Amino acid sequence: MSLLEISGVSQRFGGLLALIDFNFSLEERELVGLIGPNGAGKTTVFNLVSGFYSPSEGEIVFDGRDTRGLKPHQITALGLARTFQNIRLWNDMSVLDNLRIAQYHRRGYRLHDALLRTRRYRAAEKRIEVKCRDILQMMDITDLAEEFPKNLPYGLQRRVELARALSTDPRLLLLDEPAAGLNSADVDGLIRLVRWIHEEFQICIWMIEHQMKVVMSLCRRLMVIDFGRTVASGTPEEIRNNPDVIRAYLGDDSL
């Protein structure tokens, strides 16, 4: 069974068709890219998968469950996490707290446990703390634990956001343009990091990226969309030589 199965999904905003008959499936532990020109509908796909929008048509099945009608946090609890194109960290909280809150749905205690500090509460908070520290260590940002994200450089903010997404215990990680705004040295670091995460955490990663270097070196499978329509899908090699893709990116005249 596939981890994620999107079949016949369309999305309409008023009169605008943002996504038309989108079909896609992801297997466990894959690393796949989604590319396309600006405004092609890539982020719309992610918003649909993460439950921020509900599809006008079609169905999305994550891990055997139809996610239509579920709230984003419920989908996250099923094992889906994402990062944002423009970083959305909680800027007035420490990095450690950012990671802790990502464990909200796994805290495993209720309000009265917190108020009465029951044994269950203490065990859970301890578990959460250990887990967050682990992730910080793995991501090599232990020394940032008490920093506020707003004081960090852009590259580190990206890393913290990735750490936060990992802290939700995902099985599928959606990365929305992780390389945007990074310089070329950082981009190389990012490529290594994503590959390492993919192997270390044994999770499935699906990423939107503009920088060909990133997707071409990371992904074994790519999908191209334009104006809400699927243009092509296949290995990086196939995509590179697909005339439809070139037309989508460079316009009709180039042929």
Structure tokens, 225? 């969309």
Of residues 30 through 69, those in contact with another protein by CB under 8 A are 43, 47, 50-52
In this chain, which of 1, 16, 111, 255 binds another protein, going by CB under 8 A? 111
Q: Does residue 120 bind another protein (CB under 8 A)?
A: no
Rounded Cα gap, residues 162 and 174, in angstroms: 10
Q: Does residue 119 bind another protein (CB under 8 A)?
A: no
**Nearer to another protein by C-beta: 1 or 115?**
115
- Give the residue among 207, 86, 100, 93 at the shortest CA–CA distance from 163: 100
Residues 6 or more apart whose CB falls under 8 angstroms from that of 115 comprise none
What are the counts of helices (DSSP H) followed by strands (DSSP E) for the chain?
10, 10
Of residues 163 through 192, those in contact with another protein by CB under 8 A are 164-165, 168
**Nearer to another protein by C-beta: 150 or 213?**
150
Q: What minimum distance in Å lies between the beta carbon of 114 and another protein?
A: 4
Q: Does residue 157 bind another protein (CB under 8 A)?
A: no
In this chain, which of 70, 77, 180, 212 binds another protein, going by CB under 8 A? 77
Per-residue buried b or exposed e for 73-91, using 16+ beta carbons within 10 Å of the residue's own CB: eebbebbbbbbbeebebee
Q: What minimum distance in Å lies between the beta carbon of 185 and another protein?
A: 27
Alpha-carbon torsion (73, 75, 77, 79), positive or negative: negative
Choose the binding region for another protein from 19-27, 117-125, 182-190, 213-221 (rule: CB under 8 A).
117-125
Q: What minimum distance in Å lies between the beta carbon of 153 and another protein?
A: 19
Residue type at 215 in one-letter notation: V
Q: What minimum distance in Å lies between the beta carbon of 125 and another protein?
A: 6
User: CA angle 138-194-78, nearest 5°?
Assistant: 80
Residues 6 or more apart whose CB falls under 8 angstroms from that of 139 comprise 159, 162, 163, 166, 193
Q: What minimum distance in Å lies between the beta carbon of 231 and another protein?
A: 24
Q: Does residue 162 bind another protein (CB under 8 A)?
A: no
Contact indicator for 220, 30 with CB cutoff of 8 Å: yes
Q: What are phi and psi of 173, to 5 degrees?
A: -115, 125
The count of chain residues that interact with another protein, using the rule CB under 8 A, is: 42
Rounded Cα gap, residues 85 and 82, in angstroms: 10
Interface residue list for another protein (CB under 8 A): 43, 47, 50-52, 71-73, 76-77, 81-82, 84-86, 88-93, 97, 100-107, 109, 111, 114-115, 117, 121, 124-125, 128, 164-165, 168
